[in-house]
Structure 1
């Protein structure tokens, strides 16, 4: 079996960015690990300083259990350079190049309404975007998987 991955995203406002990525990916808040009944209870067991808060993080998951989990953590420093790794959001469906491009642009418009920004359009192929804190990602058509 191949290794599984989680993605950890550093952000200034973890809760705001969590709302965006839940909208973008259809993810939900991940339940706390057993035996904890809440994230606050789980967080408290680490014995961190009192000024650390569970609200400084967010934990998201694919409700179907297929995609990687996302951990979003508050960090004090701002983003200062281009991402060295970014996510691609792949819109489903097949059809002609024109039909795929319509799905890509429709999805990018939905994500603009959720707080994202279009950085550049690569006509007929993909749209380069940024989340509300400026972290880049692409919207493209789904590719066939073996």
Structure 2
């Protein structure tokens, strides 16, 4: 049996990360539940205190329905250590694509993501291996790779 799940990313600024990752992944903002003008209206209805509302956009969904819903949950503590889980963005096209072409595609995606607010950290490449990737950080420092 397949299990449905939602990916939750702790953060300081949900709206910032939701906007970054929606653009990075080609996702859209999740619509509020039916009958509610906004997620804040929904959460008020279920009893969430007003001081916990107002995060802005904090949920994104894959418009094709194939990827998981992602919720950016505001937490008080800052990120302090390396992620134990990270996303890989596949921009190169896979092993059937020549390495030089994959490198060009990955580098182009890295430039696009940098313009959106990400930071390139290092190139992940080793002589003799048919692999090319770039380690990056999102606007709050969460690690991810583009390959």
| Corresponding residue for residue 128 of structure 2 | none
| Corresponding residue for residue 73 of structure 1 | 73
1:121 is paired with a residue whose SS is strand
| Corresponding residue for residue 121 of structure 1 | 123
Cα deviation for residue 41 of structure 1 reads: 1.8
Cα deviation for residue 5 of structure 1 reads: 2.2
1:95 is paired with a residue whose SS is coil
Correspondences of 1:101-120 after superposition (within 5 Å): 101-120=103-122
Instruction: Tell me the matched-pair count.
Output: 140
Calculate the TM-score normalised by the size of structure 1.
0.88
Q: Distance in 2 between matches of 1:65 and 1:13?
A: 25
Gaps of 5+ in 1: 141-146
Cα deviation for residue 100 of structure 1 reads: 0.9
Gaps of 5+ in 2: 126-130
Per residue, is there more strand in 1 or in 2? 1
Cα deviation for residue 35 of structure 1 reads: 3.9
What is the Cα-based RMSD across aligned positions, in Å? 1.6
Cα deviation for residue 48 of structure 1 reads: 1.9
| Corresponding residue for residue 143 of structure 1 | none
| Corresponding residue for residue 146 of structure 2 | 139
Question: Pick from 105, 130, 133: which aligns with 2:137?
Answer: 130
